[in-house]
Amino acid sequence: MEFGTDGALYVGTGDRGKIYRIRPNGEGELFYDTQQTHVVSLAVSRNSELIAGTEPNGLLYRVSSAGRGFVIYDAPLAEIHSVTVAADGSIYASAMGGSEDRRLRLSPAQPPGGQGPVRTSTTITVRAVDEPPFPPGGAGDEGGQQDPQRPDGGAAQVTVGVAQPGFGTGITRLGEGRNVRSSLYRVWPDSTVETLWNSTRESVFDLLVSGKNLLFSTDDKGRIYELTPDRQVSLLTQTGQEQTTRLIPFDNFVLATTANVGKVFRMGTRPAPTGFFESEVYDAGNIASWGKIRWTVEAPPGTSLEMYTRTGNSRRPDATWSDWSPAYRQATGEQISGPAARYVQWKSELHSSADRSPVLREVILAYLTRNRAPEVQEVRVTPRGERGSSGSATPGITVISSGGGSAGPRAFSGLTPARSSPLRGQDIRWTANDPDQDELAYALYFRGEGEAEWKLLQEDWKTNSFQLDNDVLPDGRYRLKVMASDAQANPADMSKTAEMVSAPFLVDNTPPRVEVIETGRGKDSATARFRGFDAASVLTRAEYAVDADPLVPLLSEDGITDSREEAFTVTVNQLDGREHLLTLRVYDSAGNVGVGKTVWPAPSSGTGR
């Protein structure tokens, strides 16, 4: 609601977005229909025009005394929550709500007393407003952010713009309002619109012109800020409530109303003799050693400022924290006196003189986190150069000879390898990380079964995988150790390592041996019994071929091919009366192939071995 210069009371409503005028005699009438959902804020300009802020499309209207509406700004945020008019005719407006909440809700009907909203082209000037590069993670704020990791092992700094808390990170340009929670605008008399302030953390609830300055209140601990003509923003005070909803001038004071809990505070126009400000709790991310504290302050003659710090290892300051340090008075820098800890908090004590008060602009705390050791979570060593699983038993198959030949294609020949033979070896892969995001280098070591010392295989390796050729090591069982180091990112006396040892793995370069035990030849059939054995690996499967016929899978005599020594029997029926070659293949778990043969002579020649 707002009283006009004509003595009428203007009332903005929802959810139809209409403005009503109640004349001094009590008569009411529809004054203007914005065609928006709600009229949220009203003010009267020096030209007796009504200024109205709406939602959900963030439109700011100027409505003449005749009821003609004109859109003077279309904000990227959803709601124009508060408006006020300065003595020079400038209009200040605050907006809140994400830009994704904007939605069009227009009716084809024209508002009475005019021709509907008229849009105008405006020049938008956006001022860069910087948030501290390390946003505070408040003691009670579960969403508090940790500071970025220190680069190259150097000291990090917590930089706090005390005179500019809550600003949006970096520059917020036109069309980038999606991550902005609230903005403050100035509409100049020539309709130029300037963005004075953005925040991703706070919402502006009310505005009050105070001389040449602008006061505005937010929902972050009920803070009240002051914006000067040179666009300097200072935190004046905070009510400690969830929102400071209204700023009302009253004599030489400002009354501040709050919500959650509802209270009324009185704020004087002159600075108090002494004031205190406690920062949020800042998280270094790990135990840190503290450097110097520096600050930037504007201290008129007769005023002064002291700083204090305390540290601890709990998110909320409690009895385990250190006491407040002695006062720091050198703004150019003093060594922080406090034990190494993860969290730090500072406090300022400001002393004013007459109407003058110091203004704290920036606080910088330098720190160096303790280097944390890297972690190796897993080391895997797997055979390379195999197709399928060499450790599975061959399915049960009844062996029936194809006779003297096969009309089908010959996928395998008894005289050629049953598979391609790429360079075999071991694929070594591991998973490791560093909690400080340091770059890691790896050293690989091996040790044979029964050996005492680790031998270097590779050092200064930068990737998380390595290929070990089988011909590098002799047959046997080995373990592999991966050592991760962050030495490249830290001084030598601060670097740390971590290591993990793999499960045993087998290096087997020797193929199985195949020995024919006995053979037999009948008129139209033949048999052969043979043995396969391997010194290092278990046998996994066997195949045979008659002459150049395709290879046929063969089970061991005990039904499962899973031991270092197995016996096999081949029986072939429907043979013709010629001589035939029987080729035998045996495979071990390392992929090695052993080959043997025997000749079945023609029946007239007798039986041979």
Token pair of 122 as six digits: 């405006």
pLDDT of residue 471: 79
**Quick check: 239 and 218 in contact, CB under 8 A?**
no
In the chain, the largest separation of any two C-alpha atoms, in whole Å, equals 136
- Tell me: the pLDDT tens digits for 410-434? 333 333 333 434 457 889 999 999 9
Cα of 28 vs its chain's centroid, Å: 56
Residue 58 has pLDDT above 60, yes or no: yes
Q: Give the mean model confidence (pLDDT) for residues 331-337.
A: 95
Cα 287 from Cα 368, distance rounded (Å): 9
Residue 489 has pLDDT above 60, yes or no: yes
pLDDT of residue 423: 56
Q: Residue 64's CB: how many other CB atoms inside 10 A?
A: 15
Residue 339 has pLDDT above 80, yes or no: yes
Element holding 507 (H helix, E strand)? strand 505-507
Task: Determine what percent of the chain is predicted with pLDDT higher than 90.
Answer: 60
All residues at 6 or more sequence positions from 280 whose CB lies less than 8 Å from its CB, including other chains: 136, 137, 138, 139, 141, 144, 345
Q: Which of 83-92, 227-236, 446-455 has the lowest mean pLDDT?
A: 227-236
Q: Same topology for domains 1-131+172-201 and 151-161+274-369, yes or no? A: no
Q: What phi and psi, each to the nearest 5 degrees, are found at residue 542? A: -145, 155
Residue with the larger pLDDT of the pair 231 and 119: 231
Residue with the larger pLDDT of the pair 326 and 398: 326
| DSSP for residue 373 | P
Cα 307 from Cα 349, distance rounded (Å): 6
Highest mean pLDDT among 316-325, 394-403, 533-542: 316-325
Q: What is the pTM of this model?
A: 0.53
pLDDT of residue 97: 86
Cα of 393 vs its chain's centroid, Å: 46
CATH architecture of 513-605: Sandwich (2.60)
Q: Which CATH class is domain 375-384+422-507?
A: mainly beta
* DSSP one-letter string for 152-207: GG--EEEEE-TTSTTPPSS---TT-GGG--EEEEEE-TTS-EEEEEEESS--EEEE
What is the SS3 string spanning 517-572? EEEEECCCEEEEEEEEECCCCCEEEEEEEECCCCCEEECCCCCCCCCCEEEEEEEE
Cα 334 from Cα 331, distance rounded (Å): 8
**Quick check: 526 and 520 in contact, CB under 8 A?**
yes
- Tell me: the pLDDT tens digits for 73-82? 999 999 999 9
pLDDT band with cut points at 50, 70 and 90 for residue 37: very high
Query: Per-domain residue ranges for the chain?
Result: 1-131+172-201, 151-161+274-369, 375-384+422-507, 513-605
Topology, domain 151-161+274-369: Jelly Rolls (2.60.120)
Cα 128 from Cα 195, distance rounded (Å): 9
Residue 358 has pLDDT above 50, yes or no: yes
Q: Which CATH class is domain 1-131+172-201?
A: mainly beta
Task: Determine what percent of the chain is predicted with pLDDT higher than 70.
Answer: 79
Q: Residue 110's CB: how many other CB atoms inside 10 A?
A: 12
Q: Give the mean model confidence (pLDDT) for residues 141-152.
A: 35
| DSSP for residue 324 | P
Q: Which of 138-152, 197-211, 580-594 has the lowest mean pLDDT?
A: 138-152
